[in-house]
Amino acid sequence: MPEGKVIITVAPTGGVGTKQANPALPTQPDEIANDVIRCCEAGASVVAVHARRPDETATCDPDIYRDINARIRAGCDIIINNSTGGGPTGEMVGPITAGGVDTGDVEMLWGERVKGVEAGAEICTHDAFCANTYLPDGTTIVMNASLQRSRELAQAMKDRGIKPEWECFSVAQMIDPVRLIEEGLDEPPYIFNFVLGAHKNIQGAMPWSPKTLVAMVEELPKGSIFTVSGIGPAQVPAAMGSIICGGHVRVGLEDNIYYSRGVLANNLQLVERLARQVRDMGLEPATPAEAREMLGLPRQPAVQQQKAS
Amino acid sequence: MADGKVIITIAPTGGMGSKEMNPALPTQPDEIAEDVFKCYQAGASVVAVHARRPDHQATCNPDIYRDINTRIREKCDIIINNSTGGGVTGDMVRDVGNGDLEIMWDQRIKGVDGGAEVCTHDAHTIVGQFNGKNVFVPTPPDACRELASMMKERGIKPEWECFSLGHMSDPLTLIKEGYDEPPYIFNFVLGAHKGFQGALPFSLKTLQLMVEMLPKESVFTVSGIGPAQVPAAMGAILCGGHVRVGLEDNMYYERGKLATNLQLTQRLVRQVRDMNLEPATPSEARDLLGLPRTTAH
The model carries a pTM of: 0.91
Residue A5, min C-alpha distance to chain B (Å): 15
B97 assigned to some structural domain: no
Whether residue B207 and residue A245 make contact (CB cut-off 8 A), yes or no, is no
Whether residue B238 and residue A243 make contact (CB cut-off 8 A), yes or no, is no
Average pLDDT, chain A: 93
Average pLDDT, chain B: 96
CB A84 within 8 A of CB A60: yes
| CATH number for the domain harbouring residue B15 | 3.20.20.70
**Confidence at residue B294, expressed as pLDDT on a 0 to 100 scale:** 56
CB B76 within 8 A of CB B37: yes
Minimum mean pLDDT range among A48-52, A66-70, A88-92, A272-276: A88-92
- Tell me what the mean pLDDT of segment B199-220 comes to: 97
B295 assigned to some structural domain: no
For residues A153 and A114, what is the distance between their CA atoms, to the nearest angstrom? 7
CB A238 within 8 A of CB A229: yes
B94 assigned to some structural domain: no
pLDDT in tens, B23-47: 999 999 999 999 999 999 999 999 9
Q: What percent of chain A shows pLDDT beyond 70?
A: 96
**Confidence at residue A3, expressed as pLDDT on a 0 to 100 scale:** 75
Question: Is the pLDDT at B2 greater than 70, yes or no?
Answer: no
B160 assigned to some structural domain: yes
Residue B44, min C-alpha distance to chain A (Å): 18
Residue A19, min C-alpha distance to chain B (Å): 24
pLDDT in tens, B41-50: 999 999 999 9
Question: Is the pLDDT at A22 greater than 60, yes or no?
Answer: yes
Q: Which residues pair with A51 in a beta bridge?
A: A59
pLDDT in tens, A157-167: 999 999 999 99
Give the pLDDT band (50/70/90) at residue B3: confident
Q: Identity (one letter) of the amino acid at A58?
A: A
Give the pLDDT band (50/70/90) at residue A305: very low
Residue B31, min C-alpha distance to chain A (Å): 27
Task: Give kind and range of the element (H or E) at residue B151.
Answer: helix B141-154
**Confidence at residue A152, expressed as pLDDT on a 0 to 100 scale:** 98
For residues B234 and B243, what is the distance between their CA atoms, to the nearest angstrom? 8
CB A226 within 8 A of CB A248: yes
B93 assigned to some structural domain: no
Give the pLDDT band (50/70/90) at residue A105: confident
Residue B196 has what DSSP assignment? B
For residues B274 and B35, what is the distance between their CA atoms, to the nearest angstrom? 24
Pairing, β B8-10 against β A101-108: unpaired
- Structural domain for B62, as ranges: 2-85+108-122+138-289
Give the pLDDT band (50/70/90) at residue A104: confident
Q: What is the CA radius of gyration of chain B?
A: 17
- Please tell me which of the candidates B231, B254, B275 has its beta carbon nearest to residue A236: B275
Nearest CA in chain A to B272: A277
Give the pLDDT band (50/70/90) at residue A307: very low
- Tell me what the mean pLDDT of segment A258-268 comes to: 97
- Tell me what the mean pLDDT of segment A64-74 comes to: 98
Q: How many helices (H) and strands (E) does chain A have?
A: 9, 18
pLDDT in tens, B165-202: 999 999 999 999 999 999 999 999 999 999 999 999 99
**Confidence at residue A98, expressed as pLDDT on a 0 to 100 scale:** 86
DSSP string, B221-287: EEEE-GGGHHHHHHHHHHTT-EEEESTTT--EEETTEE--HHHHHHHHHHHHHHTT-EEPPHHHHHH
pLDDT in tens, A167-221: 999 999 999 999 999 999 999 999 999 999 999 999 999 999 999 999 999 999 9
- Domains annotated for chain A, with CATH where assigned, are 2-295 (3.20.20.70)
Residues of A in contact with B235 (CB under 8 A): 210, 240-241, 244
- Tell me what the mean pLDDT of segment A106-119 comes to: 96
CB A151 within 8 A of CB A179: no
- Helix ranges restricted to H, chain A: 29-42, 62-75, 110-113, 147-160, 175-182, 210-219, 235-244, 267-280, 288-295
CB B161 within 8 A of CB B194: no
For residues A220 and A270, what is the distance between their CA atoms, to the nearest angstrom? 27
Q: How many CB atoms lie within 10 A of CB B75?
A: 15
Cis amide bond preceding B171, omega within 30: no
**Confidence at residue A1, expressed as pLDDT on a 0 to 100 scale:** 40
Give the pLDDT band (50/70/90) at residue A2: very low
Residues of B in contact with A245 (CB under 8 A): 204
Residues of B in contact with A241 (CB under 8 A): 204, 234-235, 238
| Residue B230 in contact with partner chain A when CB distance is under 8 A | yes
Question: Is the pLDDT at A134 greater than 90, yes or no?
Answer: no
Give the pLDDT band (50/70/90) at residue A300: very low
- Tell me what the mean pLDDT of segment A225-238 comes to: 98
**ipTM value of the model?**
0.88
| Residue B294 in contact with partner chain A when CB distance is under 8 A | no
Residue B116, min C-alpha distance to chain A (Å): 33
Question: Is the pLDDT at A306 greater than 80, yes or no?
Answer: no
pLDDT in tens, B250-278: 999 999 999 999 999 999 999 999 999 99
For residues B152 and B141, what is the distance between their CA atoms, to the nearest angstrom? 16
B170 assigned to some structural domain: yes
**Confidence at residue B252, expressed as pLDDT on a 0 to 100 scale:** 98
From chain A, which residues contact B within 8 Å (Cβ)? 210-211, 213-214, 233, 236-237, 240-241, 243-245, 260-261, 273, 276-277, 280-282
Total domains, chain B? 1
pLDDT in tens, B284-297: 999 999 998 754 44
Q: Identity (one letter) of the amino acid at A252?
A: G
Minimum mean pLDDT range among A57-66, A122-131, B285-294: B285-294
For residues A244 and A280, what is the distance between their CA atoms, to the nearest angstrom? 13
Whether residue A244 and residue B238 make contact (CB cut-off 8 A), yes or no, is yes
Q: What percent of chain B shows pLDDT beyond 90?
A: 96
B98 assigned to some structural domain: no
φ/ψ bin of B97: left (φ > 0), alpha (ψ from -120 to 50), beta (otherwise) = left
Q: Identity (one letter) of the amino acid at A37?
A: I
Q: What percent of chain B shows pLDDT beyond 70?
A: 98
- Under 8 Å CB pairs connecting chains A and B tally to 54
B60 assigned to some structural domain: yes
Give the pLDDT band (50/70/90) at residue A18: very high
Question: Is the pLDDT at B160 greater than 90, yes or no?
Answer: yes
